[in-house]
Structure formats: C-alpha cells, structure tokens
Amino acid sequence: MSVNDLFKQELKVINLGLKSFQNDLKSQGVTTVQVNWKPKAGGKKNMLNLLGRISKTKKL
C-alpha cells in the first residue's frame, strides 16, 4: 500500500514506545494500539543498561 494509498485511508497507528504519543492520538479519535514492548530474549549479547544507552555516549 503506497504513500498515496495511505493518504486515502483512515490512519490506524500501532504505538511502540512513549505512551504520551498514543494518548495524543487517542484524543484526536485515532484508532491506536499500544505495544507493551520488551527487548527480545537474548537480544543483544552485551545487555547494557537501557537508560544509560538512550543518551549518546560522548567520546572523550
């Protein structure tokens, strides 16, 4: 379904992440579903602290 097809349809959004984005969409009457997302088991070998990774590390 191309971009121009999307323009003709009703937007239906799957939200992966910040709940506030989904809340905003809901408040505009957009059909959405929130994914209760977790990293896949055994995903990354070196399971680093997520919080520490969200910020970019600055090279000294």
Partner 1 sequence: MGCPAKTSTRARHMTLRTKIKRNAYYDSVTLMLLSRELQNLEGVEDVLVGMGTDLNLDLARDLGLATSELEALTPNDLFIAAKIDESKTSMDVLESAFNDYLNKRAETDGDDDFQPSSLSSAIQSMPGANMVLVSIAGEYAAAEVDEALDAGLHVMLFSDNVSVEDELRLKQKAVEKGLLMMGPDCGTAIINGKPLCFANAVRRGKIGVVGASGTGTQEVTVQVHKLGEGLSQVIGTGGRDLKEQIGGLMMIQGFQSLIADPETDLIVLISKPPAPSVAEKIYQIAKTSPKPVVIDFIGGDRAAVEAAGAVPCISLEDAAQKAVRILRGEAYADFTGFSLPDEQIDRIIEREVAKLKPDQTELRALFTGGTLADEAMKLLGVHHDIYSNIPLSPEMAIENLPSGRGHICLDLGEDKFTRGRPHPMIDPQTRTEFFKSHVDGNTGVILVDVVLGFGSYHDPAGAVAESVREIRHRLAEQGKDVVVVASVCGTELDSQDLNKSIETLEAEGVIVLPSNAQAVRFTDRVLQRMKKGV
Partner 2 sequence: MRTLNAITAADDLLEFLGTHPGERSRIHSVYPHALNLLVGESTLITITNRADLTPMGLELSPSESFAGLARAGEEIMLGTESLRSVNAAFEVNLEGASVWQSNLRADHPPRPIEEIASLRRRLAGWLASQPATGLMPLLPRLAKLPPRIGQASGNIYSRYIAEDLAALTGAINASDWEHAQTLADRLVGFGMGSTPSCDDFLAAYLLVLKAAEMLHPGRFGWVSAFNRAIARKAENRSTLLSANMLRHASAGKTGRSHQRLLRTCLLNVKDDLADAASQVFGHGASSGGDFLLGLLCAMEWYQNAISETSKKGESAWVALQRPQPAPGI
Q: Report the alpha-carbon distance of residue 50 to residue 27 in Å, rounded.
A: 30
Contact map string, positions 16 to 55, toward partner 1, x by CB under 8 A: xxxxxxx-xx--x-xx-xxxxxxxx--xx-----x--xxx
Rounded to whole angstroms, the Cα distance separating 38 from 32 reads 19
The least distance separating partner 2 from the CB of residue 46, rounded to whole angstroms, comes to: 8
Residue 19 binds to partner 2 (criterion: CB under 8 A): no
Position 48 contacts partner 2 (CB under 8 A): yes
CB neighbourhood size of 24 (10 A): 13
Tell me how many residues contact partner 1 (CB under 8 A).
40
